[in-house]
Amino acid sequence: MRSSHRISVVVISRNEGAFLRRTVRNLDDTLPGDAEIIVVDDASTDGSARGLDRRVRLFRTKGLGVAKARNFGGKQAKGDILIFADAHLGLDSGWWRPLVEQLEDPHVGAVAPGIAKWRNDGVEGYGIRFKGPQMEVKWLRRKPKQATPVPILPGCCLAMRRDAARRVRPHRRRMGRRSSAARQRRQ
């Protein structure tokens, strides 16, 4: 990994209770010393963001929802590698290294690790896909021998280069405008 990479982890929390503190401690223990940890507390009422480590940059929002809270946190981040994480993760030492290594390839814009339940019951997922007209989420269960493209990366732990995130954002704004215009035309 190039030494010039700086990692920013953005954790979204809404009433995550003790899970948030456990996840932040885990991140603090497993990330490089210059990594940034951002918590976006999205209208929690359980006090879960109180007493977080001083290393954490805490932002409080008023019910943005997960997607907008992630975008907000990403805008606050200073790193060139952005990792979006749920507030109930447990990660092994060095977990971030393979993600950053994959992102050094200019053709790779986003990556995710294999995902397992907190209580390891042997079930792991390696990307997701939608199935049927109800768009039911199905985990890809077969462990690939090496990093491989998947239809959809899970949002619970997703890493991307900042430049890739910037290229995606303008498209989202245009889509939002079209959606608003379409709604106005229908009314």
Q: What is the pLDDT of residues 131-148, one digit of tens each?
A: 888 888 777 777 777 777
Task: Confirm if 105 and 159 have CB atoms less than 8 A apart.
Answer: no
Collapsed DSSP state (helix, strand, coil) of residue 71: helix
Q: Which domains does the chain have, with CATH numbers?
A: 7-112+155-186 (3.90.550.10), 114-148 (no CATH)
Rounded Cα gap, residues 103 and 5, in angstroms: 10
Take residue 122 and report the two structure tokens written for it: 């042997």
E strands in 2-161: 7-13, 36-42, 56-61, 81-86, 110-111, 115-116, 124-125, 128-131, 136-139, 157-161
Average pLDDT of 77-98?
A: 94
State the pLDDT at residue 122.
61
Q: What is the pLDDT of residues 155-187, one digit of tens each?
A: 889 999 999 888 875 444 444 444 444 434 444
Strand partners, 115: 125
- Which candidate, 56, 110, 108, places its Cα nearest to that of 87? 56
State the pLDDT at residue 142.
77
Question: Percentage of the chain with pLDDT > 90?
Answer: 54
Name the band, by pLDDT with cuts 50, 70 and 90, for residue 87: very high
Dihedral, 22, 128, 14, 75 alpha carbons, nearest 10: 100
State the pLDDT at residue 26.
94
| C-alpha distance from residue 16 to each of 46, 97, 131 (Å) | 8, 27, 29
Name the band, by pLDDT with cuts 50, 70 and 90, for residue 117: low
Average pLDDT of 3-15?
A: 91
C-alpha count within 13 angstroms, C-beta hemisphere, residue 63:
1
Take residue 61 and report the two structure tokens written for it: 């929002």
The yes-or-no verdict on residue 149 having pLDDT over 50 is: yes
Q: Structure pTM?
A: 0.79
Name the band, by pLDDT with cuts 50, 70 and 90, for residue 45: very high
